[in-house]
Amino acid sequence: MNKINNLKVMAVTGLLAVLTTTFSFAQENLPSQVKFKPDVLKDKLKGGWAGQVIGVTFGGPTEFRYNGTYIQDYAVIPWKDGYIKETMDNIPGLFDDIYMDLTFVEVIDRLGIDAPADSFAVAFANAPYPLWHANQAARYNILQGIMPPESGHWIHNPHADDIDYQIEADYAGLMNPGMANSASEISDKIGHIMNYGDGWYGGVYVGAMYSIAYVSDDINFVVEEALKTIPKESDFYKCVADVIAWHKQYPNDWKQTWFEIQKKWSEEVGCPDGVFEPFNIDAKINAAYIVLGLLYGNGDFTKTMEISTRAGQDSDCNPSNAGGVLGTILGYNKIPAYWKMGLKEAEDINFKYTDMSLNKVYEVGYKHALEMIKKNGGKVGTNEIVVKVQKPQTVRFEKSFEGHYPVEKISVRKDLENSYSIDFNGIGIVMRGGAFKDKDVNEDYTFDLTLLIDGKEVENFKLPTNSHNRRHDVFWKYQLPKGKHTAKIIVKNPKKGYSIRLNDAIIYSDKLINGQEFHSKK
């Protein structure tokens, strides 16, 4: 009997041979359990963490510089010996998708794998690093007493579908070898701190890919099997499924698939910064670029890095996720030397805002993986580790911005003094802007405001000038009755030297309407 048939028979009986290398055949199903030698399991975990660092470093100079276009072939993306250490020393903030993961890893290490969501939320909200989009909106919510899952829900967070948890979910898969459902359980608890719907699905999907990457070296299988965790009725599922189908239709032309992605999936609905703009930080389209790199890279680390980066938009986080998944498949030792040059000299450097280096997270992550294996019915021995592989289960269906369609962007461009009113026709509004202090003012200040819709008080809220605690958008209100409305904000405590800047308003209706006048301003 040939090698492929032997392996398939053993998978059916629930026991694979001890893995000293990854699988070497086109995989059709997950085995029921897999045996690892400890050094092989750890090598894969190390490969996942190292792949992330390599990917984010490589894509760093391109992040959001190519929005709505891919990076041209003639544009050289630099890579050199010592580049990783140089970047960690000089641009430590680039590694936000690593040190964000490590916040959750540290809580797990301190409180255990069953730590409650509130513990993760409090650590996240009070961490010193700067945040943006869904993360910052969630931080503000938590500091104001709105805890998860409400902190990530689209009613409270206009950035709920953004990429945030997608770039932070690697840890969930890496600590769950072959156990995608356990990764999803962790992502349910932590991912809803900052995201909902498609934004949450991005993290669930990434975590599932990492989990399955431990037990398959078939990229196509990893990508497709992980998608089983996502509800088919979601746009996230449909977007990734489209990429898989287009790859089969155009197997040798990643740019053709990139164009198909743009035509169908590039219109932003949620994130106020991306609506009516080429900027797109939505989870699903950036996940499409991750999958684009993995499928067309076909196990080649260089091609995977190049394509997932050259797709554009969040082009440091996407190759980080792609590099981490492929690094898990290959294992640390099989990541090409070209991409690891200078890595060892950076592995003892603590990531900014943390007490963890790569070498430390290799050890801590491995410890957590062993704990999860035992928790889920596996066995951990000195010379052999047995993982009970989980068949991916679909998580529950969620949809952000249900029935809401952006129909107009109203330019405001003014400083709010005491009050401001805006008339609009639709079912929702988001006002972009923020609170600021004059250049010669040192102390921060917090404005107290009231929001009225059609003369009725609907919210009292705070606008801090402090960047760490800031509210990402001035105000928002969804799910209004369709029709004409007036939104008014009143500043209760104006103060000289401090100002509130109103940039523009995004108006939503229950369907797309072209060419109709929607507003008048006061």
- Output the domain CATH number for residue 418: 2.60.120.260
Do both 362 and 426 map to the same domain? no
DSSP string, 433-458: EEEEE-TT--S--EEEEEEEETTEEE
2, pLDDT greater than 90: no
Do both 326 and 434 map to the same domain? no
What helix, strand, coil percent values describe the chain, rounded to 5? 45, 15, 40
Q: What does pTM read for this prediction?
A: 0.93
Contact 142, 122 (CB under 8 A): yes
Do both 413 and 349 map to the same domain? no
Do both 229 and 310 map to the same domain? yes
Q: Extract the tokens encoding 223.
A: 């990508």
- Domain of residue 355, CATH code: 1.10.4080.10
Q: Which residue has the tokens 């802007």?
A: 433
Contact 432, 411 (CB under 8 A): no
396 domain-assigned: no
393 domain-assigned: no
Contact 48, 54 (CB under 8 A): no
Across the strands, what pairs with 408?
507
The whole-number average pLDDT for the span 203-209 is 98
Across the strands, what pairs with 405?
509
Across the strands, what pairs with 461?
449
> Residue 333's CB: how many other CB atoms inside 10 A?
12
Do both 333 and 416 map to the same domain? no
Q: Which of 242, 248, 249, 258 is nearest to 308 (CA)?
A: 258
Output 521 or 273, whichever has higher pLDDT: 273
Percent of the chain residues topping a pLDDT of 90: 92
Domain, as residue range, for 440: 405-521
24, pLDDT greater than 80: no
The whole-number average pLDDT for the span 117-126 is 97
Distance CA 352, CA 408 (A): 40
Work out the mean pLDDT of the chain and round it to a whole number.
Answer: 93
Do both 412 and 345 map to the same domain? no
281, pLDDT greater than 80: yes
Do both 19 and 89 map to the same domain? yes
